[in-house]
Amino acid sequence: MDVHKDNAAAAEAANPFEASLAGSRLFPLMSSCISTLQVNMGRVCNQSCRHCHVEAGPGRTEVISRLTLDACLRILKDRRYPIVDITGGAPEMSPHYRWFVQECRRVKCHVKTRTNLTILLEEGYKDLPGFFAANRVEVIASLPYYLENETDRQRGQGVFEASIEALKALNARGYGMEDGLALNLVYNPCGAFLPPSQRSITEDFRRELMKRHGIRFTNLFTITNMPIGRFLKFLKDSGNLNRYMDRLKTSYNPAAAANVMCRQTLSVGWDGSLFDCDFNQMLGLKCDHGAPDHISGFKGPELESRRIVTGVHCYGCTAGAGSSCTGAVAD
Ligand code: SF4
Ligand code: SF4
């Protein structure tokens, strides 16, 4: 009897992604450890981009509490997870943001922060490049493209110009140039297609941003647009949903599946709920299969070897070279 074949048949009925996993001997998908605690500070953002998978915006009010952040710090200290990845919305807009970054540094974590760049030009946030540098924070900045039209089409009028100004402010602090001051850019396609090779588009970004604006950066991460949130709505409205899903499915790559980020990450929602990743968070798919689903019931050993909750959206992480919060996983 071929156990993997049987597993594949059973999984196919319930969840085609799990059938693909079974076909590559990865079913059920299990976490291998937790090296990154991803903390979502809330849904508030100064932008409202059309591809946003968390549907963030200026009108949102959800924000993480100090109590939940205290619990995150206790966990980081007790379990010695090496990396904290702070995300949002625009995480900088959380009232506890700066305090939390400093406390994470105090417990010797490497801190990554996601930034949309434009927030760094707003009143009350202009000193953030200096704050990041003082705390050796790795900056991961969204920049969909090195040309104005493509960027503004996806993120809104004037976003490109503001992003360039913010990148220059980060460069002026040594970001993208000095050791320990990594400035990583995030590229995602401006439509219903997969990203190009991370290596080749990095060269294009490096050449063009230097030539046109004198900007330097460390690495560029390519990210596949996930078929959830506002991007899902765009796919439906534009009649592209089936074609896009077919493309993701037919591009399933076992090597990328073996390296999906949820295997080494735990994601904390703004309300303390626990998720396998940010995307499951958006879909309301909490940790399951017996693992605790709220930070108040945190149990390290169980969560570090938990079974991951998957769905068809997971094809977004496993198509082509794969996609994660740190770019391609099988380039
Ligand atoms: S994609 Fe980023 S910058 Fe745009 S609305 Fe969402 S959280 Fe804000
Ligand atoms: S969407 Fe989340 S759970 Fe699914 S493969 Fe990607 S990281 Fe893992």
Domains in the chain with CATH codes: 32-318 (3.20.20.70)
Q: Which two tokens stand for residue 75?
A: 């966990």
| Distance of CA 52 from the midpoint of ligand 1 (Å) | 5
pLDDT of 70: 98
The per-residue pLDDT for range 304-314, each reduced to its tens digit, is 999 999 999 99
> Does ligand 1 lie within 6 Å of residue 229's CB atom?
no
Going by alpha carbons, the residue nearest to atom 2 of ligand 2 is 277
Q: Which two tokens stand for residue 214?
A: 């004198």
Pairing relationship of beta strands 183-187 and 219-222 according to DSSP bridges: parallel
> Does ligand 1 lie within 6 Å of residue 272's CB atom?
no
**Which has more confidence, 154 or 128?**
128
Query: Which one of the ligands is nearest to 116 CA?
Result: 1
The per-residue pLDDT for range 264-285, each reduced to its tens digit, is 999 999 999 999 999 999 899 9
Q: Which atom of ligand 2 is nearest to the CA of 318?
A: 5
| Distance of CA 234 from the midpoint of ligand 2 (Å) | 21
With a CB cutoff of 8 Å and minimum separation 6, the contacts of 242 are none
Q: Which amino acid is at 147?
A: L
> Helix axis angle, 66-79 relative to 97-106, nearest 10°?
20
Residue 12 burial (CB count, 10 A)? 15
| Distance of CA 109 from the midpoint of ligand 2 (Å) | 24
Query: Which one of the ligands is nearest to 29 CA?
Result: 2
CA distance 290 to 307: 8
Helices marked H in the chain — which ranges? 3-14, 16-23, 66-79, 97-106, 128-134, 148-155, 159-172, 198-213, 229-237, 241-250, 254-258, 278-283, 300-304, 315-318
Query: With the CA atoms of 215, 216, 221 and 224 taken in that order, what torsion angle do they form, in degrees rounded to the nearest 10?
Result: 10
Percent of the chain with pLDDT over 70: 96
Going by alpha carbons, the residue nearest to atom 7 of ligand 1 is 89
Please say whether the beta carbons of 38 and 267 come within 8 A: yes
Mean pLDDT for the chain? 92
- For the segment 17-37, the average pLDDT, to the nearest whole number, is 96
pLDDT of 209: 97
Going by alpha carbons, the residue nearest to atom 4 of ligand 1 is 49
pLDDT of 1: 44
Query: Which one of the ligands is nearest to 28 CA?
Result: 2
Query: Which one of the ligands is nearest to 318 CA?
Result: 2
Q: What is the pTM of this model?
A: 0.93
> Does ligand 2 lie within 6 Å of residue 277's CB atom?
yes
- For the segment 113-118, the average pLDDT, to the nearest whole number, is 96
CA distance 320 to 331: 8
With a CB cutoff of 8 Å and minimum separation 6, the contacts of 129 are 120, 166, 169, 170, 172, 173, 175
**Which has more confidence, 50 or 170?**
170
CA distance 78 to 295: 14
Q: Which atom of ligand 1 is nearest to the CA of 54?
A: 6
CA distance 102 to 54: 26
Q: Which two tokens stand for residue 54?
A: 């968390």
Categorize the per-residue pLDDT at 6 as very low, low, confident or very high, splitting at 50, 70 and 90. Answer: low
Out of 225, 263, 280, mutate this one to test ligand 2's pocket (max ligand atoms within 8 Å of CB): namely 280
The per-residue pLDDT for range 197-241, each reduced to its tens digit, is 999 999 999 999 999 999 999 999 999 999 988 888 889 999 999
Strand, helix or coil for residue 23? helix
Q: Which amino acid is at 114?
A: R
Q: Which amino acid is at 291?
A: A
Please report the DSSP string for 169-190 in residue order.
Answer: HHHHTTTTTSTT--EEEEE--S
> Does ligand 1 lie within 6 Å of residue 281's CB atom?
no
Query: Whose CA is closest to 43, among 314, 271, 234?
Result: 271
Q: Which two tokens stand for residue 276?
A: 């396998």
| Distance of CA 33 from the midpoint of ligand 2 (Å) | 15
Going by alpha carbons, the residue nearest to atom 5 of ligand 1 is 48
